[in-house]
Amino acid sequence: MVTYDSTDKVLFSADGFGKFGALDVEEDWDREARRYYIGIVGKYGAQVQKLLKAAATLDIQTICPLHGPILTENLGHYLEKYDIWSSYKVESEGVMIAYTSVYGNTKKAVELLAQKLEEKGCPKVVVCDLAREDMAKAVEDAFRYGKLVLATITYNGDIFPFMRTYIENLTERSYQNRTIGLIENGSWAPAAARVMQGMFEKSKNITWLENNVKIMSSLSEANEAEIEAMAEELCK
Ligand SMILES: Cc1cc2nc3c(=O)[nH]c(=O)nc-3n(C[C@H](O)[C@H](O)[C@H](O)COP(=O)(O)O)c2cc1C
């Protein structure tokens, strides 16, 4: 629910157009507002789209959110970002690689993939160790970029808990319209790829890469060829 003041042409936008962070800190609005939007509002894209349609009929000169700075200039920029985020469109070209690894072998595969993507001129490669880095940033980047690679170990017949939490964070925010590739590791009965893919069963418009990677404990020569093929497909 928002309020429009037609005298001063102010939109009091509640959670909309807000961001994390104190007002006396100089920081990029897009980054913090995206993290805020995806984290807090991400599930409600349809409602935001409806609101944007209503807002398009108004003469708005100032946006006053509940959190973050009052917006007075270049309002088209913020409205455009909200349109992209709430319609689950790809915002930036690039590949987000999210991984978990206990002994480092899955991590090695991820590093090799990132290196190959960079060599092939991929516009942006973001790598995140889900057990050690900020989960909210990893979620934000999955929504920002068009392609996602998930790499994890098989863990007691399931997937490593940080990867499970990560995928739940994506699916509960209606993650959609993206390409996903899978790297799985398992020492005796790999099941991670099947489990990860199953978690997206209800997600709309997911394109699965044809070239996935199956590691049995540590990287083999065949795995290196698989990673090369995955990088090639991601760069198409
Ligand atoms: C606690 C734990 C549970 C695991 N459970 C399984 C399992 O159920 N099935 C399997 O094939 N491998 C299992 N593994 C092996 C991992 O899937 C993986 O092959 C191994 O950790 C090497 O990958 P990494 O170097 O990236 O950690 C397990 C490993 C750990 C540490």
Contact by Cβ (8 Å): 94, 124 = yes
> How sure is the predictor about 171, in pLDDT bands with cuts at 50, 70 and 90?
very high
Taking the C-alpha atoms of residue 35 and residue 136, their distance in angstroms, rounded to an integer, is 7
The predicted-structure confidence for 130-170, as pLDDT tens digits, reads as follows 999 999 999 999 999 999 999 999 999 999 999 999 999 99
Taking the C-alpha atoms of residue 14 and residue 139, their distance in angstroms, rounded to an integer, is 23
Taking the C-alpha atoms of residue 115 and residue 137, their distance in angstroms, rounded to an integer, is 21
Taking the C-alpha atoms of residue 49 and residue 47, their distance in angstroms, rounded to an integer, is 5
In this model, does residue 188 exceed pLDDT 90? yes
Residue whose entry in the numeric block shows the structure tokens 């090369």: 228
CA distances from 42 to 59, 208, 234 (A): 26, 22, 26
Contact by Cβ (8 Å): 43, 86 = no
Check pocket membership of 217 for ligand 1, CB cut-off 6 A.
Answer: yes
Prediction pTM value: 0.95
The predicted-structure confidence for 93-110, as pLDDT tens digits, reads as follows 999 999 999 999 999 999
Taking the C-alpha atoms of residue 127 and residue 199, their distance in angstroms, rounded to an integer, is 21
Q: Quote the pLDDT of residue 62.
A: 98
Check pocket membership of 183 for ligand 1, CB cut-off 6 A.
Answer: no
Q: Separation of 197 CA from ligand 1 center, angstroms? A: 18
Check pocket membership of 104 for ligand 1, CB cut-off 6 A.
Answer: yes
Nearest CA to ligand 1 atom 21: 102
Max CA distance (Å), the chain? 69
Residue 107: which H helix or E strand, with range? helix 105-119
Strands 158-159 and 145-155: antiparallel
Q: Separation of 224 CA from ligand 1 center, angstroms? A: 20
Contact by Cβ (8 Å): 166, 139 = yes
- Beta-ladder partners of 158: 155
> How sure is the predictor about 24, in pLDDT bands with cuts at 50, 70 and 90?
confident
In the chain, what is the straight-line distance between the N-terminal and C-terminal CA atoms, in Å? 42
Atom of ligand 1 nearest to the CA of 215: 19
Q: Separation of 162 CA from ligand 1 center, angstroms? A: 14
